[in-house]
A and B are shown apart, each in its own frame.
Chain A
């Protein structure tokens, strides 16, 4: 059962445009967030309307329901009150009154920094590991069961280990990001390596290329699309996890900020934070999609 994870048969044709994706739920979220690609033709106003109006309608509907539901509420802010609070919040995003009271801009940047560090380390370890697992059967057999066992563990279960080892909240949060974002990269890279078309490997064999040339000229370019899918899933997961991790560890960060505002009973700020977290996640996703498109050789 565990081995089945990475033992993809060689003869399965690689889906050129949709690399295999192991985390169905995350994918569902990410595809929903992906905008339909806009074809570049002579300007098509009706097409534009058809694409722009429904999303706007959706947002309007959400705000309408929200406004109706909060009409008589005292504890839950109305859309208008939330908007006012957001304007005030974003008019000075980078103030700093000591470690526990900083602008929302700082909080976002601190969270992004943790995600960047944890995710960067995970890429540094995970992508080469994926290559090794994909290329050498021995390592595949050795590590696949471990990965299968560890992958489903909730990232937050790793937090205490981080706190124990690093004795400090910040590295523990980075460690949690590291461990949760490493699996998609390992797995997608390994699957990508296993799906390198036999033809290309035959070229490598008849030319008797060195292992280095095989890695740089054949494996890397052909695995790139799979790898970038892994990277995209990783960043998505990392951004999901950082909020939860920061709620537990404290410090400066968007997750901690949400928790702090909850303690202040400032619900408007919590709602704003939800939108901000969503928007940042979306931006991360889009920028990585743009990178992926650049590296797609098809």
Chain B
């Protein structure tokens, strides 16, 4: 389409999703999870996907991660078609997915080695992994195994592993969903700092309205499934750095929050299906 006709019109564009649909074959016939997804993410942008549980947020993120292939449509990462998973997209999983038999350092090293081992020596790779762990404040636990650290710390190491590969995009699927409120708040603040220092482009799934407004440049609100699609996109023009306490009384913040809540609970309220 337009992209191919004028390839250099927008150099800030990192991700393009064009007419993507996802149909899962199931025992009871094909299940349309997503349809007509169109989205662009700019370099350095923080985009969150929000929607009720089961609407297809993870499905969309997994498509971008390359873990599943779309049934229709195409996706471009820096103007090149995505054909599968790759280390140019750092993925942070909800349940951290650190390998329990490796230390925190080795978990990060596994990713670092994959990307840089051709150009760099052992010492440099180690340096990179340590730097990534330092970035997320985990220097004190490099030698610890995942089961020896808290859930919040595991998630930090997961972020370090993803960032250490210097990916073009950071993909996060409810990374703080399993954490308690205080830990979650602290990690959100730290994530904002990390994104500010690294200039990372982020796509993050959440179902937490406050988290979405606090972190995002744009909030992508999804309609309910089946055949879910993007309902509305809300641009959040709050100045950065954002401070949680100050925002609570900020009129714009309250307004953004209200708009998301309105979308989720008034116009697209979730009907629980009987199990």
Contact = CB atoms under 8 A, between A and B. Distances in A.
Interface of A: 199-200, 202-203, 205-209, 213, 217-218, 221-222, 297-298
A298 B100 contact: yes
Contact of A199 (B65, B89, B95): B95
B86 interface: yes
B101 interface: yes
A233 B270 CA distance: 52
B67 interface: yes
A221 B145 CA distance: 14
A197 to B, nearest CB: 8
A205 B67 contact: yes
A222 B97 CA distance: 13
Interface string B52-93: 000000000000011100000000000000001111011101
What 6 A-B pairs are tightest by C-beta distance, nearest first? A221-B101, A297-B101, A199-B97, A206-B91, A206-B85, A205-B85
B111 interface: yes
Interface residues of B, number: 23
B100 A217 contact: no
A207 B101 contact: no
Contacts of A202: 67, 91, 93, 97
A201 B111 CA distance: 14
B99 interface: yes
Given A199-B95, A222-B101, A298-B100, 12 more contacts: A199-B93, A202-B91, A202-B93, A203-B93, A205-B66, A206-B90, A206-B91, A207-B111, A208-B86, A208-B114, A209-B114, A213-B114
A206 B65 contact: yes
Main SS at interface, chain B: loop
B144 interface: no
B102 interface: yes
Name, among A200, A205, A207, A217, the residue most crowded by chain B CB atoms within 10 Å (CB to CB): A207
Contacts of B165: 207
Interface in B97-111: 97, 99-102, 110-111
Given A199-B93, A202-B67, A217-B110, A207 B99 contact: no
A103 B165 CA distance: 64
A19 to B, nearest CB: 16
B147 interface: yes
A298 B114 contact: no
A218 B147 contact: no
A200 B107 CA distance: 11
A218 B99 contact: yes
A92 to B, nearest CB: 48
A291 to B, nearest CB: 16
A208 B147 contact: no
